[in-house]
Amino acid sequence: SQQGEEDPQALSIQEGENATMNCSYKTSINNLQWYRQNSGRGLVHLILIRSNEREKHSGRLRVTLDTSKKSSSLLITASRAADTASYFCATKRKRNYKLSFGAGTTVTVRA
């Protein structure tokens, strides 16, 4: 069952602009992760934020987590053409090996 839902479904931006996408989930979590998928390929892990963390940075990526609203956001700053991909949030519940993925946000960065 899908635990996370990303919003928007698709996003088109100009190179150099920032891209923001959101993820909402339903039950309490142990951590939330963001993945990137280039067309027709496997997923690549980007960043993991634990339930007791509010914000995390990795290079041009910034992730926030609001457990009271059961939501997270991923910000990509100064986007590049290589950032064109689908982005998925995945939630991990406590005492559970599984990740539950959303349907993803497709980001297109125009040159």
Partner 1 sequence: DVKVTQSSRYLVKRTGEKVFLECVQDMDHENMFWYRQDPGLGLRLIYFSYDVKMKEKGDIPEGYSVSREKKERFSLILESASTNQTSMYLCASSLSVYEQYFGPGTRLTVT
Over its C-alpha atoms, the chain yields an Rg (Å, rounded) of 13
Question: Mask 29-48, x = binds partner 1 (CB under 8 A)?
Answer: -xx-x-x----xxxxxx--x
CB of 55 to partner 1, least distance (A): 18
Give the E-state strand segments of 25-104 in sequence order: 31-37, 43-50, 55-58, 61-66, 71-76, 85-92, 99-101
Count the alpha carbons within 13 Å of 106 in the hemisphere toward its beta carbon.
4
Q: Which of 72, 102, 107, 109 binds partner 1 (CB under 8 A)?
A: 102
The answer to whether residue 10 forms part of the interface with partner 1 (CB under 8 A) is no
Q: Footprint of partner 1 on this chain (CB under 8 A)? A: 1-2, 30-31, 33, 35, 40-45, 48, 88, 90, 92, 97-104
